[in-house]
Structure 1
């Protein structure tokens, strides 16, 4: 009962004599509109910024044969399917089909909202709860899958840049960004190792307790600290026992995205050298992770196209190839994920109605 009372107090928006926090929905709505407007302006002005026109860009995209577009869609689908191995590895008992559904629906939400990753996590958590998974297992799944997603993407991108630099095929003007990416990977790996160590997690728990002691009850802080330490142990056990499918899923997913990126550039006649291709792909992946606009729209395309132009690609071909690739990895996920979510919701309602009818007949 005491825990329920604590939850009610915190959920009510105030603790003790602290004032109730004002609603932030209008501000978030305005920020969302501004984010969409910024992405739209950047994308609309992109051809002009690189010295081409929308007519030239769309003409190159329209010239891609329909059979090749189907092949690109198949490659995109295989990439999504490969990432489902990471999700099933992070949550034993999750089927491949449901993992693919989580990936599609979460991506659909994340790609249409600024900082949409949090909304994607909320949606996936709701779906997992309806499939019978407990809160601790869901928290373990969320932390493990996101850690491997970030570290895996940074690791693959950093390794690709480092290998290109060691082979002497990296342009001189991108050596500094390459060193920055490699350093970022090293820092992220170090922070992850410290956070998941026994002493590191204890220090983090104490820091959280010190910050939150004045805002919530001491009993709740103690319980949260105990839960955090227990969750850390569960995440470590999951990673130790399932690191092979976790790693294979995220690495194969990033590599297949790189193949898709190169295929799109090839079909639009933007054929850069391998080093320029690697750098452009890495720039796209890193910039798209910055939640300034939904999926980094506008900035990711500009960054990748800028690298291709610096590598000697024609402006129209570079923009067309980048936009074709982003149409698959960002735009296509929205209707496909939305349709999958609608189908799952309709099937669930139908099943609930059938069970209610059977219970009424009995």
Structure 2
């Protein structure tokens, strides 16, 4: 795919996201979601292999079902109340159906089945777009519906955290582990979204930064499985040395940046009197902490079975690929001290 075609598709993807952000009408929001879906499909199938085409087909079917549910919920609301405005979705039946449709697009449990299968069939740079920027539009719509059914949102979020922690244990493919990591983080965002919008924004920003960095790092090392990570140091010794910190940041280990969203979410949920919910969520998060430790062990303490006899790869890497990645890694690791400043900006 040429750079011009990629620029057009990526610009179309951004235009669809902006359309959803600016819309207050369900029909316009649905058009924006469809534009983002149609823009990312050529990016997913651009290599034109059996696995990428299969992943693009599964993604198209899942998103089509979600779009049909959105249209049906909007039509039902218009039939009942005569309103097409997003904020006027007040009837229980259309509102619950709309939340489930957006949960399908975000990949929340129990509507998550397409996420690991689709990410497994994609290249890492395309999977990064799917796991980060493609979630902006449905999450923006979900934010506007947070006041309708907070218990439903909290339940979907907790199930996502629980299932991601359990299902990620027996995975050996990095893309599936990243898929379950995405489901777990979206679960945390959904749980806190029902009670504090600024904290949900903060968690989403941190998720975008950390996930973007990790995808790009695995793309640099050309690793697709845990066994291949044992030889990742030969690609870039200096940059790969920071990958364990990124993994522990995603796990939420203090004092790294990923710990701050969970700390703020725990404090807010405790203030709301949901001590049992936040305790269960924290205990379940320890399950997902296990496969982050597996990846950290593979990079730092495991050795590749066969030594590579040639020159190390890092001598031939271009600096223009490493410098932006190093900046993103440093920001995602050391973001914790400016958390109060960011939260004050989001609250204002």
> Does the pair score TM above 0.5?
no
Q: For the superposition of Structure 1 and Structure 2, which TM-score range results when normalised by the shorter chain?
A: under 0.3
Higher relative contact order (CA 8 A, sep 6+): 1
> Highest Rg: 1 or 2?
1
TM-score w.r.t. the length of structure 2 is 0.27
